[in-house]
Chain A
Amino acid sequence: MIDTVIYSLIVGIAVGFSAGYLGSIMVLEKMALVGDALSHVALPGLALGVLLGFNPLIGGFVFLFVSAVLIWYLGRVTKLSFETLVGAAFTLALAIGILLYGNRLDALEAALFGDITNVSLTYSVFSVIIAIIIVLLTHFIYRNIVLSLISEELARSKGINTALANLLYLLLVSVTVAVGIQVTGTLLVGFLVVTPAAAARIISGNLSRYLPLSAIFGAVSAISGVLLSTSLNILPGPMIVISGVAIFVAALLYRWRKKIMA
């Protein structure tokens, strides 16, 4: 039991930290709903894993990865925004996923809401390694993406391949979501890339504060959610979301207090 809690906490911290860090870009790009919607694209892949007897997370990741590349390509060709394309893809994926699951309701519930209590030592080590890679790669493309948000021409004039940076970013979101599905499920994993960053944004005056705070809030949401779910014996996903929203509310109150004191 203690082992399970420790593994859950390790996975929670790894996923929460990396998702928060990555999500800070999403909030700047005003693409908060993309992370949420993209997570549903994993559902058919998870279902295929269950049906064909391989690890559902691999199926989920493959679907996310292929969808991300397809969305990136269609965005370049059609000039439609990521938000529009993801919006078009996710409801279809959700429908197909639910059809594929059929009457396997336990598996569908695990896919939708996650099952962090079943994580192994191997999975927790894997999630830490993936989180480190995600944070490092995100750090690597961060400047390029921020510059392209300020002015794409400015970024391109300095030789920055903005299309490649966006593709890498979408792929990182896919990996984060795929790993995070085990923690909160496809329905709630979008939370981890949005709310911690949103909370950090409202109390940060510069990027040096905003980036680490987004990651820390993500990790704290996950830790408190896992501990609460363990002590109350309920699903961890919703508790992680509730913990994160509490941090968001606390950040709002902090900001109001600061304004009143000023």
Chain B
Amino acid sequence: MTESNGYFLKVSNLKVQLQNETILENVNFSIKKGTMLAIVGPNGAGKTMLFRTLLNLVPHTGKIEWGEKVKIGYVPQNVSVKDIPISVREFLSYRKGADIEGALEAVKLDQHYVMRKTLSVLSGGQLRRVLIAWALIDNPSVLLFDEPTVGIDIGGEESIFAMLKDLKQKSNITLLLITHDIHLVREYTDQLLGLNKCTTFFGNSQQIAEPALQQKIYGETVCLAP
């Protein structure tokens, strides 16, 4: 599939099997450029594995078709910074040709305040923003964000999503977000992918408000036909 056909990313019959265990099967969805897609599903549904697969880090079958020469930015759910004395400047300078000031500005962080701080002393929200800045440095066309609001207070969650939406509007970046926050999904994202080893729902994010859909996504698994 190419973008001329209307899709930025098309995933068809994706299957991931590791050590004889099926992690993902019958995963199908497609999105247009500039879409903010929320990926929801119960724990162990394979959401993070879907990201790993899109990053080409795990063997898989089926098709992953990007509509253009894609540059992927990735923000993982868990990072281990507690025992590493690395400052924000040092971390961001690990990217070649890094425009550190520009990246921090894009994620609305005061560079004078955070630049010399070590990652381990940042608040959860600040650390997530630094990780986004890291991912944004080489102007990716798509950002994969695993649980943007993990470890962040309620006000912080809202501001991270608002910042991502602002980013999308400014640069037309495509965003794929794994999240559990139904309110934020409805408020900020465009499309919704329900995942429970297979695609259980794919459609408009607004529909997440319907209890029947929530039951469908988080309840007994019924895979959608490809």
Contact = CB atoms under 8 A, between A and B. Distances in A.
Interface of A: 28, 30, 143, 146-147, 149-151, 153-154, 156-157, 201, 204-210
A151 B94 contact: no
Nearest to A24: B85
A154 B79 contact: yes
Contacts of B118: 205-206
**Residue from the set B52, B80, B86 with the largest chain A CB neighbour count within 10 Å:** B86
B55 interface: yes
A147 B85 contact: no
Given A143-B94, A150-B79, A205 B85 contact: yes
Interface of B: 52, 55, 57, 72, 74, 76, 78-81, 83-87, 90-91, 94, 116, 118-119
Contacts of A156: 55, 57
A205 B91 CA distance: 13
A208 B90 contact: yes
Contacts of B72: 157
A151 B84 contact: no
A154 B74 contact: yes
Contact of B79 (A143, A151, A205, A208): A151
A151 B87 contact: no
Contact of B80 (A143, A149, A157): A149
In the A-B complex, the 4 residue pairs with the closest CB atoms? A157-B74, A206-B87, A151-B79, A151-B76
Contact of A146 (B52, B84, B116): B84
B50 to A, nearest CB: 13
A99 B79 CA distance: 46
B185 to A, nearest CB: 23
Contacts of B83: 28, 30
Query: Which secondary structure dominates where chain A touches chain B?
Result: helix
Nearest to B146: A153
Contacts of A201: 85
Contacts, number: 55
Contacts of B116: 206
Contacts of A151: 76, 78-80
B79 A207 contact: no
A130 to B, nearest CB: 27
**Residue from the set B94, B116, B118 with the largest chain A CB neighbour count within 10 Å:** B94
Given A150-B81, A204-B85, A205-B87, 14 more contacts: A146-B86, A149-B80, A151-B78, A153-B57, A154-B74, A154-B76, A154-B79, A156-B55, A157-B55, A205-B85, A205-B118, A207-B90, A208-B90, A209-B85
A30 B83 CA distance: 9
B124 to A, nearest CB: 15
A204 B120 CA distance: 13
A30 B81 CA distance: 13
Contact of B84 (A28, A143, A154, A208): A28
A153 B78 CA distance: 9
B52 A153 contact: yes
Nearest to B138: A158
Contacts of B91: 150
Contacts of B52: 153
A150 B80 contact: yes
Given A147-B94, A206-B90, A153 B84 contact: no
A143 B91 CA distance: 9
A151 to B, nearest CB: 5
B23 to A, nearest CB: 15
A210 B118 CA distance: 13
11 contacts: A146-B84, A147-B94, A150-B86, A150-B91, A153-B76, A157-B57, A205-B85, A205-B118, A206-B116, A207-B90, A209-B85
